[in-house]
A and B are shown apart, each in its own frame.
Chain A
Amino acid sequence: MENYLVAIGVTAGLYALLAQSVTLAWGMTGLVNLGLAGFWAIGAYASAMATVQGGAPVPAGALLAVVAGAAAGLVVTVSTLRLRDDYLAIVTLGFAEVVRLVASNEIWLTNGTDGISRIPGLFARTPPLSFNLSWLAVVTALVVAVWWALRRLSASPWGRALRAIREDPVVAAVAGKPVVRMKAEAFAISAAIAALSGALYGHFNAFVAPDLFLPLVTIYVFLAVTAGGNGRASGAVAGAYLLVAFLEATRFAAHALPGATPLQAAALREIAVGVALIVVLRFRPQGLFPERNQKAPA
């Protein structure tokens, strides 16, 4: 039981990193990344390939994942940031799909749908409880570090300019802010955070495969961020832990349903996630931790 709870804690921490990625891009800058699962996958694959095929140590793999995530973020945004925001949504949605296609079909590179297994785990995998506890410490520390960094960024002139861009890019541009460059920076950093989470996910579970990076993951994280409050890192973290509690609760609830096949139970669970996102968007879009107005510096 402890083991299960600790493992859930690690997963929740990985979702909290994803949620903070969305907070930076969407909450602070107004950029909707519907390809979050794709950046997660890029991080997971970059680090898994570097450590399994390249023999690199885990921290080096994670670093490579961060770089790969940021680079992919720049590539995706380069053609869309000057356009209406919905173009970015369309492009990122397609991007995640293409990442999954490449991961499934370039067997020489990614081992195809079989995935990459035996990814090194940073700590000895036995006994499981101490493995999970060590991971809980690492992931929680990273969640706190990213949370602190985002708070600092948010309070900095850079963060203030991002919010100005979110509210009105034209006014921000007139005020002399390099709108496109700042959007690209924010999106690249956000993609790097998602990729870091993906790298950790692969090392913790020892396995990555294309089917783990479905578009559903993106919807999960948007639910977490909206429920927590999309303008604040604290909201994203709280929302991610709530999300994982909700997902685990629906897992048990689905088992308890009489007469539903496993497929139907899974479908009901996804319906619950979709309905929850629609309900939160409609009735409490500011989330549990609404954004606070900042005082203008004296």
Chain B
Amino acid sequence: MKEEKLIISLHPHIQSAESVSRMMFITTAALIPAVISGVYFFGVNAVKVIVIAILSAVVFEAGLQKIMKREVTIMDGSAVLMGLLFALLLPPTAPWWMVILGVFAGMLLGKHVYGGLGSNPFNPVIIGWASLKLSFPSYFDISGSILGVTKVEGISALVEDYVYFSEQYGIESLESIGAKINLFFKLLLSWKPIFPGEPLIGCIGQISALAIIIGGLFLLWRRYITWHIPVSFLASIILFSILFKGGEFLYPYVLVQLLSSGTLLAAFFIATDPVTSPMTGRSMVILGILLGLIVMIGRIWGSWIDPIWFCVLVINAFTPLIDLIFKPKPFGRVKVA
């Protein structure tokens, strides 16, 4: 038989055009509305934090990979995404050294000590955030990782203060359906300063719920995330805030739980991180419900102002266990008697 230079390999001989870097860049693109809203409300400070975070993430990724003698993969977009997500969790007033330190902690302790992208048990963004929160609590408390938390006693007190809503959003009473819908849309668009005349405070990426929802829906449409975690997590937040709270101010309370703080960012971008979330839809639903539960417990009875990112870390630790318990049953398995 004549010799021909043909390649032999196992099927499949073709591949889909998807790749990890495409996944990362599309997710980064989905964050653009949140970036725009952050820049719109916080101006040049937000731009500064975002640029520093992204640049340092790329530099640290390349540097750490060089030191650890691994292939440098800054072009896969995961460093850019991590830097951007990290910046969105910070207040615009964060000083430059803190941003760099946080990115470094996230990169080293969250990602590269475990072996890089794909091996990390915890979300590196949250590792970075948590190390800053624990090391420099005062920088966070100035602006609060949630609206106005320094002025009122924790997140739940905010909504019981009718002055806030009536003065800032022009809603006198929440009796009528129209007023409820009105409040919903106003909160969806953005938050307002706690007191008139004071500067707006909050985190860059969390100021406009609508911007995050647009990005999340885009990801859902492109099928880079599935509905399981966002839906189960948000439903669980609603359910447990009703169960735990109830009472007169329930409606604005539930709205604040859903639309403020990192709830939406967690639902669409942080908890859905493929590496640290469970594998199957069923386990993802379980994770979403559990996350909602501990977030609500933490918010109502915890001592942190907003515990959501610590809750994400806790739930990341449970991911392997959830995966193990809810292993799918193979097709056509026969029970051996």
Are A and B part of the same complex? no
Taking beta carbons and an 8 Å cutoff, which residues of A are in contact with B? none
